[in-house]
Amino acid sequence: MMSLAMVQTASDLYAARGKPDFSSLARQFYEPVYRFILRQAPTAEDAADLTQETFIRAQKNFGRFDPEREFAPWLFTIARRTVADFYRQRRQLHELLEDGHADPAPDPRECLDVEESVEQLWSQARKLKPKYHQVLLLHYKENLSLKQTAVAMGLTTVHVKVLLFRARSALKRHLPANTLIEEETNHE
């Protein structure tokens, strides 16, 4: 599997392989986008559907993509917005069906007894505000730089740094005292 750090811009792909078609980009980025969405979706089936929707949206807008810019942040922005739309529609449906008083069923993965601190950390991260969770996923799980994370989320780099600080602080408050959270600020 090719890491996102290996191919940063579509122009890198042009130089490496000639002009890539959308299907080659989709194959290359499918797994990272799926993992990003899976960590936010209630089920693996929802994640697969949302990943497919992300690539459909990306393909429809591929003509508007600037090949001089980085492809990964552009694609993760579409993925993030697709997930947000999913939850917005789901919330509206719950409000219509149940007057908005019922909580969605908990994710079975969150109910498991977490033995390793990393698993516990990500389990707690899922419970944070969506922006906190997303910034942690993009920066630490998908290894996007601060700048790439900012582009993907439509924020400034300074705002991303603030969100990362706040997300780590929120995690510290929710984790047992013996769990280590790495204070990494130069993860670029």
Q: Where are the domains of the chain?
A: 1-105, 106-188
The pLDDT of 164-185, averaged and rounded, is 70
- pLDDT recorded at residue 91: 78
pLDDT for the residue numbered 124: 81
pLDDT of 126: 87
Q: Which residues contact 85 (CB under 8 A, 6 or more apart)?
A: none
Confidence check: pLDDT of 170 > 50: yes
Q: Is the pLDDT of residue 181 over 60?
A: no
pLDDT (0 to 100) of residue 172? 83
Q: State whether CATH 1.25.40.80 applies to domain 1-105.
A: no
DSSP the chain: ---TTT--BHHHHHHHHSS--HHHHHHHHHHHHHHHHHTTSSSHHHHHHHHHHHHHHHHHTGGG--TTSBHHHHHHHHHHHHHHHHHHHHHHHHHHHHTT-SPPPPPHHHHSPP-SHHHHHHHHHTTS-HHHHHHHIIIIIS---HHHHHHHHT--HHHHHHHHHHHHHHHHHHS-TT----------
Q: What is the CATH class of 106-188? A: mainly alpha
Buried b / exposed e along 93-110 (16+ C-beta atoms within 10 A): eeeeeeeeeeeeeeeebe
Per-residue pLDDT tens over the stretch 72-125: 899 999 999 999 988 888 777 666 555 444 445 544 444 443 345 677 777 788
Q: What is the pLDDT of residue 50?
A: 94
Q: What integer pLDDT is reported at residue 100 of this predicted model?
A: 41
- pLDDT of 19-64, one tens digit each? 556 778 788 899 999 999 999 999 999 999 999 999 999 988 888 8
pLDDT computed for residue 185 by the predictor: 42
